[in-house]
Amino acid sequence: MALVPCQVLHAAILLSYCSILCNYKAIDMPAHQTYGGSWKFLTFIDLVIQAVFFGICVLTDLSSLLTRGNDSQEQERQLKKLISLRDWMMAVLAFPVGVFVVTMFWSIYIYDRELVYPKLLDNFIPAWLNHGMHTTVLPFVLIEMRTTHHQYPSRSCGLAAVCTFAVGYILWVCWIHHVTGVWVYPLLEHLSPGVKIIFFAAVTVIINVFYLVGEVLNNYIWDTQK
């Protein structure tokens, strides 16, 4: 896709995420006032990741326009750094975390919404905002993968980074339970300690699988497989 349409696309998606985040933070929910605030929910963390990622995309697009026809080696070096950061975020965070949030949320929601999104939340979060947090993330990230080629890191480094994020968030959830005595997600209340360990291990494996899916999909779309 040409650079200008990509610029418009990135800017539009960034604005949509800023709107979703602002509307979500404006909601007066009891959960926002407890330990960890909004940062205890992976959905909110993912929204921040997506907003930062598309913000970097916009910054990269602007830098590309400014350096076009410019022979400054320093500006070229800075642009390459931005592109590397953009590609790393797409590979390690934006795609695997975004796809994980959408697939896990709706899978559990269809099975029993009370385990992940109690009906009580309908009084606070309108349907359009719920879809903005848990649905549109997937098409946005797929559109980005289709319109922009991303250079993935080595598989070992990529998987190590994804594992670090997954384990870090699991430890954060466990710490919140240690401090408050309440699990962030109602689903965890129904699992025994042994099953929780299996569940956390499965979650880590799944998010790593999504990383691999992203790598394969990126290679397939752009025909970069060796």
What pLDDT score does 225 carry? 47
Q: What is the pLDDT of residues 105-128, one digit of tens each?
A: 999 999 999 888 889 888 888 999
Any residues with CB less than 8 A from the CB of 107 and at least 6 apart, and which? none
Which residue in 50, 79, 49 sits closest to 62, CA to CA?
A: 79
Q: What is the mean pLDDT of each run of 10 residues along the chain (226 residues)?
A: 71 95 88 88 96 96 80 79 95 97 94 89 90 94 92 95 97 96 91 94 96 94 67
Question: Whole-angstrom Cα distance, residue 59 to residue 69?
Answer: 18
Q: Which residue has the tokens 């950061």?
A: 85
Q: Which amino acid is at 37?
A: G
Instruction: Please tell me the distance from the alpha carbon of residue 170 to that of residue 62, in angstroms, as a whole number.
Output: 36
Report how far residue 222's alpha carbon sits from residue 147's, in angstroms, rounded to the nearest whole number.
10
3-state secondary structure 186-203: HHHHCCCHHHHHHHHHHH
Stated length of the chain: 226
E strands, the chain, are none
165 touches 173 (CB < 8 A): no
pLDDT value at residue 155: 94
Average pLDDT, the chain: 90
Q: b/e for 174-212, b at 16 or more Cβ within 10 A?
A: eebbeeeeebbebbbeeeeeeebeeebeebbebbbebbe
Q: What is the pLDDT of residue 5?
A: 78
Structure tokens at 149: 């080629």
Q: Which residue has the tokens 């993935």?
A: 152
Q: What pLDDT sits at residue 224?
A: 55
| CA dist., res. 166 & res. 205, Å (int) | 9
pLDDT digits (tens, 9 = 90+) for 175-214: 999 999 999 998 899 899 999 999 999 999 999 999 999 9
The pTM assigned to this predicted structure is 0.92
**DSSP annotation of 90:** I
